[in-house]
Amino acid sequence: MSTEPQTAKPAKAPPKAPGKEAVKDASMLKQKEMMAAHYDRLSASPETGEKVVCTFVPGNLNELIMCFDLCNNLPEVNAIQSGLRRQSGAYVMEAEKAGHSEDVCTYVKSDIGMIAKGNIGPNGKKLPDPDLLLLSYTGCFTFMKWFELLRERYSCETLMLHTPYVADGKITQNMVDYMVRQLKEEVIPALERLSGIKFDIDRLREYLKKSAKAEDDLVKVLQSAKNKPSPIDGYFGGIYYIGPIFGAFRGTEDAIDYYRFLLEEVEERVAKGLGPVTPEGDMGEEKYRLVVEGPPNYTSFRQFWKMFYDEGAVVVASSYSKVGGVYDFGFRHDPDRPLETLAEYCLGVYTNRSLPMRVDMLASYIEDYEADGLLINSIKSCNSFSAGQLLIMREVEKRTGKPAAFVETDLVDPRYFSAANVKNRLESYFQMIDQKRAGVRSAA
Amino acid sequence: MTMSTTRASGTKAIIERCQILFDDLTFAAAREWKAAKPGRKVIGYMPIYVPREIIHAADMLPLGVLGGGDQLEVIHGDAYYQSYICRIPRSTIELGVSGRLDFVDGMMFPSICDVIRNLSGMWKMMFPDVYVRYFDVPQNYADDIGGSYYIGELNELRHDLGELRGSPITDEELRHSIEVYNENRRLVGELYDFRAKTPWQAPASEVYLVLRAGMVLPVEEHSVLIADYLAAARAEQRPMRDNCRIVLTSVFCEQPPLNLIKSLELSGCYVVDDDLLLVTRWLTEDVPIDGDPIGNLADAFLHHSESTAAKYEPSQAEKGQYLVRAVKRTGAEGVIFAAPSFCDPALLDRPMLQNVLSAANIPYIAFKYAENSGQMQPIREQAGTFADSIKLWSAA
């Protein structure tokens, strides 16, 4: 999910809380160019004749979509962009005015509100109507209803690709077979019909090879946070790092170049003993190393991040940076098993994993990254992440002996970001970590 | 007096018995069933659908676990959930943590939404000695795609329950269970038809209680109970009121308080159809007895099952038409959307269903509830105004 805000034609928006222009490292600038080019490609599609497929980040089949020269559009990323540009609040209210409940996902409402207001993308140009809705139903119930809602509006073909939930901690052959059959018998024939291009499995293999290369480098970048100090922030910064691979670039040369470039940048920081780059430049002394569970708040993204780096807190690993694919436990797209690997990719994304698997993952991050504890950012309108997080918190605390804390915000609804409350809780949490450390020292 | 075996006659006596079962948060009837024979096992299930035939075929009691209603004080459950998550998982956790489900050998969590899905993982962590199954169902309805997958899932369930019992479930056992549940569904269908034709003879609150009894009683006993109620309701003459006829929808998971159902009736609405306790009529046709029983159950799920918000509708033209058909079939004059707060399936689906109803010129209203909602006056006023407007509009 790219958080690189696109800047053309900003609408009337309240001033950003931190005020100053964000400091960006070279990889961020490179990503910004990539994202801008993608949005321009999308908005030009009515003229170029390119066909557009809307799909979701978890279970995103970018390699397959590229086999048919189709262009992907990700409504979640559009909602994030609206959040970062502080337009989502108005969009959410527009959707609520049209009868959508205040209780449901704010990504959906931001998207629907944006469409109602002309569907202007982050580049200031109209986003195209989709030619196909590829409903990759992976790890989130809301996805199903979201695309039913979009189908009602666009009356375009909608393809369900159902990913079974990995409830027992293992991917079964029955699950993989089911997904491969859906791909072979329904998804691929529909993409052939739409594009007029015959499916070429060798072309898919080539893209998958490229995906695996970029995935290798992404993992190295994310795991660089095991260093002390960590050269990256694996949550706020991590959201930038996952942008290309979770979005429209997995399987491309651009992604390979980006992650190689990013890795070099990170390795240089490790060599120099530097911490992460924040919007206000290099972070000072690393005082706290955290693992974070849950998505961020996007409407006050910088303000939220600032609450961490001002206190010397760096996030060394996060679950959200695995929402579009979990690569750090060994999975890579495998060109030798092209359809099976796509199925296994979908099955393995973070929100498609059972709660015990999520606990295992978070506990292992705390150990492997030598973190001081777990922070959960619970999102009001995201049941997929949020339901069960209080038990996750207790279990991780129990297993690791490290303190955990809980804050509550929302994805893109600014009404649910209470800066004072979040800051208070974070400050208390950092004090708790200090006390715990002092206790350990005195015991020793 | 045992709770499960008393035969009652006359609607009053039958409903009193159902009310006792409904009020009993210790599940005494199911406990008695289990205690009656050594080795018996009980498998709990949550809304909206599990193939109870397979549980029954393993000589086990399927037990509907539908939250704690408005009488359960949730003490521990709230510590597991944020305020913005619906009520049913927290009261279900309360039932578990408080020991009320300590006789339950397995729990099934159907694929309905992310909250129930995640609850399956919580149950695994909290009750490691209990068999826990997240029951996934296909969202693809082609025989060779979703059908094959579903058959695999059903066979896995059959295998697991066979292991839990200590001997495999045979085809003959499955066929017998299918037959027993076919009979139960036929009776439920008859009850719903009877109510749609003469709603003053079978108030919605009574029909609900009769169905709800089927969540804790053995199916054979429940079928007798429905038949008894139907006979008693037909024999009694109750006054017909000048009520409008409505379809109640979105109540498929977290249960509305019984008082809410009563309030709708008191405010001038006859409920002539609803999506309460869908497990009792999820399969809309008899499942064939001959042939492969697992294949037959899969076929019924794919091609003869109810529509609801938790299910993907592949055809835009078909979206929401089940509601229009329900209105036409029952002669309803309007639809009431009563969704639990924070219910993703019901609330995300609602705007689409409302558009379908608008296109069909069917009036509707919407409100939210929680299983422990206590204040019914606003709902009564809203439903009463709706009933009045329908009558005025119809008269014009």
Which residue of B lies nearest to A154 if distances are taken between CA atoms? B316
Closest-CA residue to B177 (of B144, B150, B154, B206): B154
Contact A390 B82 (CB under 8 A): yes
Of B111, B118, B348, the CB nearest to A388: B118
Question: Which of helix, strand or coil describes residue A227?
Answer: coil
What is the C-alpha to C-alpha distance for residues A131 and A157, in angstroms, rounded to an integer? 7
How is residue B207 written in tokens?
A: 């029909």
Q: Is residue A1 part of a domain?
A: no
Buried b (16+ CB within 10 A) or exposed e, B206-239: bbbbbbbbbbbbbbebbbebbebbbebbeeeeee
Using the 8-state DSSP alphabet, how is residue B257 labeled?
Answer: P
Q: Is residue A117 part of a domain?
A: yes
How many CB atoms within 10 Å of residue B358?
Answer: 11
List of domains in chain B: 17-169 (3.40.50.11890), 239-395 (3.40.50.11900)
pLDDT at position A18 is: 52
Touching check for A352 and chain B: CB below 8 Å?
no
Q: Which residues contact A139 (CB under 8 A, 6 or more apart)?
A: A58, A59, A163, A165, A323, A349, A350, A351, A352, A353, A384
What is the C-alpha to C-alpha distance for residues A317 and B87, in angstroms, rounded to an integer? 32
Q: Is residue A5 part of a domain?
A: no
How is residue B102 written in tokens?
A: 């300590």
Q: How far is A166 from chain B (nearest CA, A)?
A: 9
Average pLDDT over residues B87-93: 98
Residue with tokens 């393993």: B58
Touching check for B317 and chain A: CB below 8 Å?
no
Residue with tokens 């309905």: B112
Quick check: A102 and A84 in contact, CB under 8 A? no
**What region, left, alpha or beta, does residue B277 occupy, with left being phi > 0 and alpha being psi -120 to 50 degrees?**
left
How many CB atoms within 10 Å of residue B2?
Answer: 10
Which residue of B lies nearest to A357 if distances are taken between CA atoms? B121
Work out whether strand B364-369 and strand A277-278 pair parallel, antiparallel, or are unpaired. unpaired
Measure Cα distances from A384 to A179, A355, B85, B136 in Å: 21, 10, 11, 16
Backbone angles phi and psi of A101, in degrees to 5: -65, 145
Residue with tokens 């990504």: A107
Specify which residues A73 forms β-bridges with.
A54
Quick check: A265 and A258 in contact, CB under 8 A? no
pLDDT band at B94 (very low <50, low <70, confident <90, very high): very high
Look up the ipTM and state it. Answer: 0.95
Q: Which residues of A touch B120 (CB under 8 A)?
A: 167, 354-355
- Own/partner contacts of B390-396, CB < 8 Å, gap of 24 or more, are B390/B244, B390/B333, B390/B334, B390/B363, B391/B242, B391/B244, B391/B268, B393/B363, B394/B244, B394/B333
Using the 8-state DSSP alphabet, how is residue B84 labeled?
Answer: T
Is the pLDDT reported for residue B3 higher than 80? no
pLDDT at position B393 is: 76
pLDDT for B290-347, tens place per residue?
999 999 999 999 999 999 999 999 999 999 999 999 999 999 999 999 999 999 999 9
pLDDT at position A13 is: 41
pLDDT at position A233 is: 98
pLDDT at position A10 is: 37
Touching check for B142 and chain A: CB below 8 Å?
yes
Q: Is residue A14 part of a domain?
A: no
Q: Which residues of A touch B125 (CB under 8 A)?
A: 355-356, 359, 391, 395
Could you list the residue range(s) of the whole structural domain that residue A157 is in? 26-443
Is the pLDDT reported for residue B242 higher than 70? yes
Is the pLDDT reported for residue B5 higher than 60? no
Number of domains in chain A: 1
Average pLDDT over residues B109-136: 98
Contact B139 A144 (CB under 8 A): yes
Q: How far is A155 from chain B (nearest CA, A)?
A: 8
Touching check for A144 and chain B: CB below 8 Å?
yes
Q: Is residue A102 part of a domain?
A: yes
Q: Is residue A17 part of a domain?
A: no
Q: How far is B342 from chain A (nearest CA, A)?
A: 5
Q: Is residue A21 part of a domain?
A: no
* Mean pLDDT over each residue of chain B, to the nearest integer: 96
Is the pLDDT reported for residue B188 higher than 70? yes
Q: Digits of tens for pLDDT over chain A (444 positions)?
A: 545 544 434 334 444 445 567 777 788 888 999 999 999 999 999 999 999 999 999 999 999 999 999 999 999 999 999 999 999 999 999 999 999 999 999 999 999 999 999 999 999 999 999 999 999 999 999 999 999 999 999 999 999 999 999 999 999 999 999 999 999 999 999 999 999 999 999 999 999 999 999 999 999 999 999 999 999 999 999 999 999 999 999 999 999 999 999 999 999 999 999 999 999 999 999 999 999 999 999 999 999 999 999 999 999 999 999 999 999 999 999 999 999 999 999 999 999 999 999 999 999 999 999 999 999 999 999 999 999 999 999 999 999 999 999 999 999 999 999 999 999 999 999 999 999 988 877 777
Q: Is residue A283 part of a domain?
A: yes
Using the 8-state DSSP alphabet, how is residue B288 labeled?
Answer: P
pLDDT band at B353 (very low <50, low <70, confident <90, very high): very high
Is the pLDDT reported for residue B2 higher than 50? no
How is residue B298 written in tokens?
A: 């899969």
Contact B314 A160 (CB under 8 A): yes
DSSP string, A203-220: HHHHHHHHHHHHHHHHHH
Contact A103 B347 (CB under 8 A): yes
